[in-house]
Structure 1
């Protein structure tokens, strides 16, 4: 399963690279708009994930590094975070 999460992280980073190249040197007519739209939607999705998982990150050793990774690769980083032990129960 770690291979799939790593592959997802790599493909997400590749997409961010394509988006960056598109900002520097825009592609042909409809493609640069579609890439920019997809990048905007992906960024908004990652911001929502960051808001949803913010409470879980406060207890981690390096919460700001985890927040940055969630902002860049999203759910692929969330899935690699260690789950709390079965005996620990978090109350709201």
Structure 2
């Protein structure tokens, strides 16, 4: 069985270890443009990349997208089978 990972899962580890906003933007643009995903979703992600003003804000967008698209949103928190762990990432502002 092949595990399918979302775009956000695939880029998150790298995005959270990079320190430069412009490098992150270039990495994500290249990664997303090369993927065969819904064009509307692709354009939405690329728009967020273009609008990113700080590394921390862009990382926050990635976190929120993971929560939304991976079914880990707050509406799931009260179900006993679901456990959500918050991860605090320290980064330097550009």
Determine which structure has more spread, i.e. the larger CA radius of gyration.
1
Structure number with higher helix proportion: 1
- TM-score per shorter chain, which class? 0.3 to 0.5
Normalised by the length of structure 1, the TM-score is 0.35
Q: With structure 2 as the length reference, what TM-score do the two structures score?
A: 0.34
